[in-house]
Chains A and B, each alone.
Chain A
Amino acid sequence: MAVGSRHNRARKTVLLVLVGLMVLATLPLGGCWDYREPDEVSWIMAVGVDRGRENDLRISFQIAVPLAAGGGGESTAFVTAMDVPSLPAALEVMNSFVSREGDLSHTKAIIFSRELAEEDISGTIMLLNRFRQFRPTTALLISQEKAEEVLRQAEPVLEIQPGKYWELITSGWRYTEFIPVGTFRLADQEIRTAGAAGLVPLIGLEQEEPGPPHPDLRPKGQDVAGQLPRRGGVAVELFGSAVIREGRMVGTLNGDETGIVKLVRNVNYRTFKNLPDPNEQGRIIIIQARSRQAPRIEVDRRGNGPSQIRADVFLEADIVGKEGFTAWSHPERIPQLERLLAQSYNEDARVTVRRAQELGADVFTFGWEAKKQFLTWREWEEYRWADQFPNADIEISFDVRIRRVGLTSEDIPLRRF
């Protein structure tokens, strides 16, 4: 008995060791195929897509130089471009002249040139949608100039490496109404959905020649990227949006129009309004407004004819400052100011609606609301929203409330001697 159990124990030990070795032996079967040191990879920060000269597309990569990011070194990125049939092909071709394997998993922005976008970009978007390395949160931009040129000009001033620059500049939609939300995922969704048009941030290069003179007061968002009256800083600028319908860019919205669309879509966090003071010529009141509650959108479909669309946007406003001496913060004057603001916004909205109907693009995504009126998908498709939208009767009305007037209730006027 004793001998037997000792024998068993020895056998058990041998068995355990064998099993252990077998388990260990399976580990290398994984082969470390995916084992890849980070310094064996070239990290692509931004991708540019243009119409090619010797092939269908011209893909340019902005590749980070990690030594520079780690400290020291002048250039933090370089741009390389190649004519290839598709984006993944570029990754492959790139290996013949860039020493490290290209990787898109840290790409922050993909830029299509307007020239290409006006033809068709749905192919590349569909392709990227399945491409594993590519993140759906990457920003999608459309540039007025050649995308390659934009990448070359994008030399960050504040940031060490360009990836961070792209990340921050494309999240500008959080602070300003002039830039739409521009992730690849959203653009992809809007492009694919029947009944809505996509809004993509418009990117341009600083204008070389100053625009025509205009000394009087002018609304601040009347431009698009590439026309901004500004000087200095990074040559690249984001302003306004490109409207994408059915995978094709059909036109642009300027900054103010983009702002209205964002308010209706309820993605605007904050907006400033320069309101001309009705009591004092040439002076303005500056109001900061934010959404008070989600907009109420009602779509009334009349048979198969054009729909009647009514959108109520609710804003809450604060008086930031005023140039004049009228005590707008007096309780009895506030309703007047609220009315003035609403009128101003309504006017802007009318312009935007007219523009959207001209382009035939439902940038407000009213279509998603209209869809609910149909019982079957087929009915909805047969209604052909894109064709009906330009004829729809659209009314966007703003309801503005001023809740706080700030700490100053009344100003002592400046004395002029």
Chain B
Amino acid sequence: MNTADIVVIVVMAIGLVAWIGEPVVRRGRMQEAAADAHDDAIERLILQKETLYTAIRDLDFDHQTGKVDAEDHVALRRQMEAEAADILRQLDLADPLADLDLVAEREILAYRRKEDAASEDTCPTCGTDLAADATYCPICGQLLKPAV
């Protein structure tokens, strides 16, 4: 073994020990970990929300491409919306500011619900309550007035 090799090996060993040992010597990272765990919980909820949103999108798409009947579509969509609302509530409890977009979306949702309730029109195909100015049914997609 020549001297250069020995030097490289020694440097490698010292570097390795310093690199691995540094966190143990410094410690004091407990708070960071606790914060991470909290973030994990919220991230999990957001993921669940996104999964459901994707599922709803897929359901709508399956309906549009003729794989799901209007009847099934309404029933399944209602069920998924209920699940989504439940997750949004949990997210709200976990951290009201976790996802500002989410808050905005919820408000829009609530507003539309109110609007829907106020209107007396119903869809001729599936019977869903409709907003007064609806162009087509939000549930089954039935065209109500000619699109502009």
Interaction A to B: no
Residue positions of B touching A, CB distance < 8 A = none
